[in-house]
Homo-oligomer: A and B are copies of this chain.
Amino acid sequence: MPTLTAAGIEPLFRLLARYMPLEEADRRALAKLETGPVCHAEARSDIAREGENPTVIRLLISGWACRYKDLPDGRRQIVGFFLPGDFCDLNIYILSALDHSIGALTAVRYYEIQPQQFQDVIDARPHLLRALLWHEMVSAAIQREWLLSIGQRSPLERLGHLFVELYYRLKAVGLATGTGFDLPITQNHLAEANGLSLVHMNRTVQEMRREGLIELSDRQLRIVDLDRLKRVSMFNDNYLHFNR
């Protein structure tokens, strides 16, 4: 059970409010997304597979999911994390078939939103479209930053950078307390996201503990010295494009 529970569209609302000022009317408009069915997926299950053609938009309410791609021989790369408040399939408006899979990393709850329902929200508060597009472009910027990480940063820098990124993202949706947060995924997931073997990821986590940068146990991560971790991992928050 998470330290902080988040419900409904609250994480999404907080997220979008980082990009532009929102009003109560916006919250009420977004609340229409809550009328759809609440779906569940269990840990380690697929929510959608590459090649599928989803007809609904999924909005994550609780739990962690990921985008991943895999190769015919089983190698697998996590290319992004979905946190509460994230949409999984916003691009079905343009693209048809999925070029990646979506997997639940923990038990998750999400809304299945009909395109029309979504359209109604935009029609009611058109500037929300801009905020949503903004969020999509930030997602693309995160992908670029990951490319820099995997291509150039050392394992320690990579992991540190990921932790800081997750910290800021979770803080934006109200899921971080102080400098700690719930990290409900396994070291294997961290390895798959960072292009490292599980063994090496484990040793990297331990090195990070030894350096006094983090504390991690029982799925709770605490960043001991945020400034130092940012320096070590060469973290520059400009790619998250928060306005405040």
Binding site for B on A (CB under 8 A): 50-51, 67, 69, 71-73, 75-77, 79-80, 91, 94-97, 99-100, 130, 133-134, 137-141, 143-148, 150-153, 194-195, 234, 238-239, 241
What would be 22 A-B contacts, judged by CB atoms less than 8 Å apart? A69-B148, A71-B148, A71-B153, A71-B234, A77-B147, A77-B151, A77-B152, A79-B147, A94-B134, A94-B137, A95-B137, A95-B241, A97-B238, A99-B144, A99-B145, A99-B238, A99-B239, A100-B141, A100-B144, A140-B143, A143-B143, A143-B144
- What chain B residues lie within 8 Å of A152 (beta carbons)? 71, 75-77, 195
Is B71 in contact with A195, judged by CB distance below 8 angstroms? no
| Chain B nearest Cβ from A236, distance in angstroms | 9
Which of B69, B194, B234 sits near A145, CB closer than 8 Å? B69
- Assembled-state Cα–Cα distance A151/B100 (Å): 15
